[in-house]
Structures are given as structure tokens and as C-alpha cells.
């Protein structure tokens, strides 16, 4: 049977499985399966050569029963509305499992940012905000960086929003530069939250993580910080990392400063010094203690799941594992830290950023890290305990925790 790799179909299938365990009311189930609203629009951009290119873009606000929407904006040549829908759904469950008062949203633009000049990228970013500014804001929906977007792009979007509204509202965007109201500790937050979750996994499984081996797929902001923090906080030995161009391996561990310097210089992981070349699939199937998929969706599938030998899979990417692969991991006894728990550190610190913006009072990085640790630890044990109590997978358990919280808010509002 051919696997369905449509991200939104996967998100709905995961919801359906948890809804059956919860015995969720059919009307509530139907409501939670679909986005509350979505926007499709086009962005005309004047290119450097004088031509005008038209880019397709989206914003999906999946559910805001628990609070304003929250979710990043992705710039990717293969972006689809179903990917954005799925990511908005997962953001809804992510904010709920982290127990922060926000809903779920996501945005995307079909483009290849590598082909755009800095000026073209700025005009595209501002064009995106000109299309959505009426529907976003600190009390409506707050975008953030995601795949191929960064603090500078957020700064352009923030400036465009404030130009259009004539108001100073830094909380409309998170993940922005510190100088414009960003939060200390935001760049490493997604990876940091995942490291805290891995630490707690080691504790509940009785695994000594000091010197344990680790492989990381994806070496953007999240994957590179995961390498750094895995070594610094957990003393893991990171033996392999990869990006879209290929991977590298060294049995005695890869030196983070060396690899980071190589990536800054060349823009890619392959050919780093003191390392052997390795394919992406070889990395995913290495005999390691911890596997961290930190790239994009649908990387662990029914095609390669049986070859995975890791003891712990920490999903720092969104949707890296298909339902078919999940079934295999359950059978093999691999402990999966599901994506919308494992990578909730980013949205948690984005929430902290919104709070700081609202009060115009800012915290230092130590305070941000301490508060993130408490949030992630509490969320991890809520999911782990639910899995043990209901005898279900961690992913289903995470859905049980999240769906119950969202459904309660929907019910109290009288929507269903």
C-alpha cells in the first residue's frame, strides 16, 4: 500500500486516533478536524531587473479558542496549503500541550529565497504583511520565523505592520531582533526545549545520557543549536549531522565549533574537516542512542522505519514521522518524543516574548531558560504520565492532553 504523505491528512489521522481514545463528541471532532479560517493571496514583487513576479502565499488560523493564533511563516519552493494547514493544526496542539494561552496558526510563501536578492526578499516580506495586517496583531495572531525566514525578515514585517497601522506594536511579531523587542534566549529556544525533553526521557527510562551517541538530521537554526546544547547540557556525543546537501560522521563525535565555522563559511555541512561523508538515510538509520530529526516533514516513513536503530527519537522538526513509521517504532519499543511536545520550546519563548512586549519589561536569558525548563518539564511529564496511564503511544498521549484542553475551551465558549 502506498503511504499517504499529505501532511494535513497525516495531522487529521493523528487527531482521529486520539479522538477515538478520548471518545470525543462527534460534533467536536468534526470541528477540530478543520481550520477555522484561512487566507490565500498573491504578492506582486518588483524584481531587481524591473520585472514583476507574483508569489502565492497563505495564512491559516486553525483554532483560537485558547487565545490568539501563533505560528511561523515559511518561505519554501515546495510550500503547499496542506502543509500550512497541518502545521497550523500542530501549532494548536503544541500551544495546548505546553499550556500557554495561545491558539495555532501558520503561514507560507511559495518561493526559493536562495534565488532572491536581499532587496527582493525585503519586498516579498513586506508584501506578505500588507496582505495579512488586518488579520494579525498581539490579540489576534502573531507570526514568527520558520523555515527559511529569520529575525531580519521579521523586522521587515514588523516595520511594515507598524507603518500600515501607525501604531507601535512589537508583539505582532516574535523572533525579531533584540533591538526591536525580541526576547533573550529566543534563537536557541526550540532546540533548548528539545534538550530538556531528552533529559527528562533519560530520567524516566533510566538511561545515563552522559557520553550517549546522537545523530541530528537538519543543520539550520534548530539543528545547529541542538548540536551545541546536546554537548553543553547533556554531554551527548554527536556523531553525525546533515543538511539538504548531505551528511558527515565521526565515531568519536563532531566538534561543534569546527562544524559551525565550516557551515558559516561554506553554507553547507558536507566536506567539513575531520569527518566522513554519509547519506541522509544512513544518518537516520545509525546505531545511536538519540536520533534528532530537525529538518522537514515525512523523513521517517514506512520505507525506512524498520532500519531505525535509535533508542530515543526527539522530533525537533514538524511532522517528521508518518503514521506507518509510528507503528513500527511502537513495535520496536523506540521512545518517541512527539514533535508538538519536543519542539514546543520555540513557541513557549515566543509567548514569553509577547508577554515582555505587552509589559515593555524584559527578562535576561537565565530567567527565560529557567522558565522554559519548567514549562517543558511539566509538559513532558503530563504527556508521559498520560501515555503510561492510557497505555498509548507518546504521540497519542500528547494529543489526548492537547485535544482535551482545546475542546474544553471550545465547549466553554459555546461554539460546539
> Which residues are tagged catalytic?
106
- Assess contact for 278 and 242: CB atoms under 8 A: yes
Q: Where are the alpha helices (DSSP H) in 214-322?
A: 221-234, 256-266, 280-284
Helix (H) or strand (E) holding 337: strand 335-337
Helix (H) or strand (E) holding 37: strand 37-46
Grid cell 497563505 — which residue? 58
- By C-alpha distance, which of 217, 160, 174 is closest to 194? 217
Looking from the CA of 347 toward its CB, the CA atoms found within 13 Å total 36
The helix, strand and coil proportions of the chain, stated in percent and rounded to the nearest 5, come to: 50, 20, 30
- Assess contact for 353 and 200: CB atoms under 8 A: no
Residue 103 C-alpha from the chain's centroid: 15
Distance CA 364, CA 113 (A): 33
Give the three-class secondary structure for 108: strand
Q: Which residues contact 357 (CB under 8 A, 6 or more apart)?
A: 138, 169, 170, 171, 181
Distance CA 62, CA 104 (A): 6
Amino acid at each position: 500500500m502506498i503511504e499517504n504523505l499529505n501532511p494535513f491528512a497525516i495531522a487529521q489521522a493523528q487527531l482521529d486516533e486520539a479522538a477515538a481514545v478520548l471518545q470525543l463528541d462527534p460534533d467536536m471532532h468534526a470541528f477540530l478536524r478543520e481550520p477555522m479560517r484561512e487566507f490565500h493571496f498573491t504578492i506582486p514583487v518588483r524584481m531587481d531587473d524591473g520585472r514583476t513576479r507574483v508569489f502565492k502565499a497563505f495564512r491559516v488560523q486553525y483554532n483560537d479558542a485558547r487565545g490568539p493564533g501563533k505560528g511561523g511563516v515559511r518561505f519554501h519552493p515546495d510550500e503547499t496549503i496542506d502543509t500550512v494547514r497541518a502545521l497550523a493544526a500542530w501549532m494548536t496542539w503544541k500551544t495546548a500541550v505546553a499550556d500557554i494561552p495561545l491558539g495555532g496558526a501558520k503561514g507560507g510563501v511559495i518561493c526559493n529565497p536562495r534565488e532572491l536578492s536581499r532587496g527582493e526578499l525585503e519586498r516579498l516580506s513586506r508584501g506578505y504583511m500588507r496582505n495579512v495586517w488586518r488579520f494579525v496583531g498581539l490579540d489576534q495572531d502573531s507570526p514568527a520565523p520558520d523555515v527559511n525566514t529569520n529575525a531580519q525578515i521579521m523586522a521587515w514585517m514588523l516595520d511594515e505592520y507598524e507603518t500600515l497601522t501607525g501604531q507601535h506594536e512589537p508583539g505582532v511579531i516574535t523572533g525579531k531582533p533584540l533591538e526591536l523587542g525580541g526576547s533573550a534566549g529566543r534563537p536557541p529556544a526550540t532546540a533548548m526545549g528539545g534538550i530538556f525533553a531528552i533529559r527528562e526521557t533519560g530520567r524516566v527510562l533510566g538511561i545515563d545520557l552522559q557520553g550517549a551517541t546522537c545523530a541530528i538530521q537538519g543543520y539550520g537554526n534548530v539543528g545547529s543549536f541542538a548540536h551545541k546544547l546536546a554537548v553543553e547540557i547533556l554531554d551527548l556525543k554527536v556523531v553525525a549531522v546533515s543538511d539538504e546537501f548531505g551528511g558527515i560522521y565521526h565515531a568519536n563525535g563532531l566538534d561543534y565549533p569546527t562544524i559551525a565555522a565550516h557551515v558559516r563559511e561554506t553554507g553547507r555541512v558536507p566536506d567539513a574537516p575531520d569527518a566522513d561523508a554519509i547519506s541522509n538515510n544512513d544518518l537516520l538509520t545509525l546505531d545511536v542512542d538519540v536520533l534528532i530529526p530537525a529538518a522537514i516533514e515525512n523523513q521517517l516513513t514506512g520505507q525506512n522505519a524498520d532500519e531505525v536503530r535509535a533508542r530515543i527519537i526527539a522530533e525537533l522538526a514538524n511532522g517528521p514521522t508518518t503514521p506507518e513509521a509510528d507503528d513500527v517504532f511502537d513495535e520496536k519499543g523506540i521512545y518517541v518524543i512527539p514533535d508538538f511536545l519536543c519542539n514546543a520550546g520555540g513557541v513557549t519563548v515566543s509567548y514569553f516574548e509577547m508577554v515582555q512586549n505587552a509589559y515593555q519589561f524584559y527578562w535576561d536569558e537565565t530567567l527565560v531558560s529557567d522558565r522554559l525548563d519548567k514549562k517543558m518539564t511539566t509538559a513532558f511529564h503530563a504527556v508521559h504520565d498520560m501515555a503510561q496511564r492510557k497505555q498509548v503511544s507518546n504521540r497519542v498521549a500528547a494529543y489526548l492532553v492537547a485535544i482535551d484542553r482545546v475542546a474544553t475551551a471550545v465547549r466553554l465558549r459555546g461554539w460546539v
